[in-house]
Amino acid sequence: MQRYTWKTGILEAVMILTAIIFFIPLYVLIVTSLKEPNDPTGSLALPAKFTLQNFADAWNQGHLGNALGNSAIVTICSVVVLIVFSSLAAYPLARITRTWSKLAFFGFLIGLLLPFQLALIPLYQTMRDLHLLGTVWALVLFYAGLQMPFSIFLYTSFLRALPIEYEEAAAIDGAGLLTTFWRILFPLLRPITGTVAILNVITIWNDFLTPLLYLSGSGQQTVPVAIYAFVGQYVSQWNLVFAGLIISIFPILLVYFLLQKTVIQGFASGLKG
Amino acid sequence: MALDRPVRRRKGGIDLNHRRGLWLFLVPAAAIYIFIVLYPSIQGAALSFTDWNGLDPVKNFIGFDNYVKLFHDPKALASVWHTLIIAFTITIVQNLVGLLLALGVNSKIKSRNVLRVVFFAPAVITPVATGYLWQNLLGQKGAVNEFFGFFGIPPVTWLGNQSTAIWAICVVIIWQFAGYSMVIFLANLQGIPQEVIEASMVDGAGPIRRFWSIIRPELAPSLTINLMLSIIGGLKIFDQVWVMTGGGPGGSTETMSTFLYKNAFQFGDFAYGIAIAVVLAILVGIISGGQFVILGRQNRGSK
């Protein structure tokens, strides 16, 4: 193994400095939210007087509670649907070697290339006809479809690298397909399920354009749309706005910090395929 | 449930090709995918040949008129150009930064685990939020000007200036997603057997030579994924642009996504908006398909 030399020390210093530069924007976000509106200090300085009033005001004026609830419902429901359906679909896609299976896999991959704006507009009308427009269920359905190709891609790649012996043993024991899948395969898929879950949570929680269109005028909002409306209303009251931004990104950052090992290692399992 | 038929053996294993009913597992995923993505996309492509305004049921077939209009519309062409600038800039810079960060945190430095978490953190934050954050940072009295002020550089309204706005947006996107590229490169770097690297050190290869001849060829899988993700992400970019500049000043940051949004939902010209989306889809297909072919060829050549 390489040892820790003076060169490593220099590298360490450079990397830490880079990390500090990376972190400055978030530092400004935090200190600004803690300042009073008439705080005389520059944007890089600590507050002259600390206050938490901005957070209380942002919470009350930004309708963030409702938006956080909606975002949570949409994100959790979509991700559960995605995990169940895409892992199920990956089973035949990974194990059946016939032409139709390859074609189906290719058909799903096309979805990675299509810009979602293309489907967004015609689908808007379909959702309206189904009376789903303005409800969170339109979003759940939308994300389940939109993120399906990516999730299937990750699951199928992972499953292809998984030895087939477990399934054989289960089949010889007389287990049915669904039992084999649920009891044997799904637990083995856990690392990639973590990756699929976290990447979809990030994408869905953060999406802006879809809820902006599909929920507009309904009084329902998700977090990014609530923030957009909030900033539009309190433009240039940065202390208040930044407190709102912090409230809105807090849940996703919390999930990230709690699961950071899974997130970062998850890519390794996603990449193996 | 018993097996439908005796287990067929081929190369000592069961042959799942002959397990009846396995295809049923595909049905739920395929149904949602077709309903949400495939069918509406085809519908969209068809609507781009009409004059549909999004409200009336009346649609007249007008052939390629929307596309002809697009290719004669200086604003549309400018939006294509800006989209390409952003996509290529972030693809190159974001992946270069991401690779350097990955090499840095894959070393023996003590802070590597903390740094990985810090560099990836911006990638999980809502782009709408980072957009507003940076709008403030890049403002006349923002932190960026304050920082440059220490070195006597006069303040610039980065987002209000036609010549700087698009580059400022690129910086924001790179700041946000360099950590994403890093994590993908890192996963790949950690998969390279340590013996290979140690053997090259015994042979006396320096760090640069070691990177170029030992590590670089091994990075092909992560490079393919990273380039693909950043090109597609760059071509479709909407949130950050919409929040920070709304396409301005003077249309200098109008991308295809903001332009199609304005046409479809603000000007009520749905069919024209969809035509732009079709062109965007074709662009994404050509560029990422081309990249896939080129990289695939190189990967085979390097091994």
Asked if the Cβ–Cβ distance from A267 to B184 is below 8 Å, we say: yes
CB contacts < 8 A, A to B, total 298
Compare all CA atoms of chain B with the CA of A172 and give the residue at the minimum distance: B7
Q: Write out the two tokens for B232.
A: 């597609």
The nearest alpha carbon in chain B to A78 belongs to B32
Q: Do B183 and A108 touch (CB under 8 A)?
A: no
Give the closest residue to B88 by CA, choosing from B10, B197, B166: B166
Of B29, B54, B270, the CB nearest to A85: B29
pLDDT value of position A188: 87
Give the model's pLDDT for residue B300.
Answer: 59
Q: What's the rounded Cα separation, in Å, for the pair A188 and A63?
A: 42
Interface of A with B in 49-68 (CB under 8 A): none
Tokens of A153: 């891609």
Structure tokens at B183: 């994590």
**For residue B88, is it left (φ>0), alpha (ψ between -120 and 50) or beta?**
alpha
ipTM, 2 decimals? 0.87
Q: pTM for the complete prediction?
A: 0.87
Closest partner residue to A8 among B16, B109, B188, by Cβ?
B109
A237 to chain B: nearest residue by CA?
B136
Kindly list the residues from chain A whose CB atom is less than 8 angstroms away from the CB atom of residue B128. 206, 208, 224, 227-228
Nearest to B146 among A42, A121, A245 (CB): A42
| pLDDT attached to residue B10 | 44
In order along chain A (273 residues), what is the average pLDDT of each group of 10 residues?
76 92 91 84 81 85 87 95 94 86 89 82 86 90 94 88 81 80 86 86 91 85 90 84 90 86 68 50
User: DSSP of B53-114, one letter per residue?
Assistant: -SSSS---B-TTHHHHHHHH-HHHHHHHHHHHHHHHHHHHHHHHHHHHHHHHHTSS-TTHHH
Contact A159, A90 (CB under 8 A): yes
* B205 Ramachandran zone, left/alpha/beta (phi>0; psi -120 to 50): beta
Is B36 within 8 Å of A253 when comparing Cβ atoms? Answer: no
B20, B24, B109, best to mutate vs chain A, most A CBs in 10 Å: B109
Q: Which of B23, B117, B125 sits opposite A249 (nearest CB)?
A: B125
Measured CA distances, B227 to A168, A175, B200, B234 (Å): 38, 43, 28, 10
In chain A, count H helices and then E strands. 15, 0
pLDDT at B18 (0 to 100): 60
Residue listed under structure tokens 């990273």: B226
Find the angle CA(B196)-CA(B197)-CA(B201) to the nearest 5 degrees: 120
Choose from A114, A130, A215, A221 for mutation: most chain B CBs within 10 A. Answer: A114
Distance from CA of A53 to the nearest CA of B (A): 19
DSSP line for B119-142 = HHHHHHS-HHHHHHHHHHHTSTTS
Of A57, A21, A19, A49, which is closest to residue A242 (Cα–Cα)? A57
Judge whether A171 is closer than 8 Å to chain B, CB to CB.
yes
Mutate: best of B11, B16, B174, partner A, most A CBs <10 A:
B16
Residue showing tokens 């139709």:
A100
Contact B133 A257 (CB under 8 A): no
- Cβ of residue A126 closer than 8 Å to a chain B Cβ: yes
B113–chain A nearest CA distance, Å: 9
Q: If you measure CA to CA, which chain A residue comes closest to B238?
A: A209
Distance CA B120, CA A262 (A): 13
Residue B147 is which amino acid? F
Q: Which residues of A touch B288 (CB under 8 A)?
A: 113
CB atoms within 10 A of CB B222: 24
Tokens of B185: 């490169």
**A150 C-beta neighbours (distance < 10 Å), count:** 20
Nearest-by-CA chain B residue for A259: B117
Q: Of A217, A90, A210, which is closest to residue A138 (Cα–Cα)?
A: A210
Q: Give yes or no for A72 touching B (CB within 8 A).
A: no
> In terms of C-beta distances under 8 Å and separation of at least 24 residues, what long-range contacts does A71-75 make, across chains too?
A71/A205, A71/A222, A71/A223, A71/A251, A72/A251, A73/A136, A73/A140, A74/A136, A74/A139, A74/A140, A74/A143, A74/A204, A74/A211, A74/A222, A75/A201, A75/A204, A75/A205
CA torsion, points A211, B235, B253, A252, in degrees to nearest 10? 40
Distance from CA of B163 to the nearest CA of A (A): 23
Do you find a cis peptide bond into B249, omega within 30 degrees of 0? Answer: yes
Q: What angle do CA B172, B162, B235 make, to 5 degrees?
A: 50
Q: At what angle do helices A136-146 and A148-160 cross, to 10 degrees?
A: 40
Any B CB within 8 A of A146 CB: yes
Digits of tens for pLDDT over chain B (303 positions)? 344 444 444 444 456 656 678 888 899 999 999 999 999 999 888 888 888 877 677 677 888 888 988 888 899 999 999 999 999 999 999 999 999 999 998 888 888 888 988 999 999 999 999 999 999 899 888 888 888 888 888 888 898 888 899 999 999 999 999 999 998 898 888 888 777 777 777 777 777 888 888 888 888 888 888 888 899 889 989 999 999 998 878 889 999 999 988 988 888 888 888 899 899 988 888 888 888 777 766 665 554
Q: Which residue of A has its CA nearest to B105?
A: A15
Distance from CA of B47 to the nearest CA of A (A): 8
Residue B159: Cβ within 10 Å count: 23
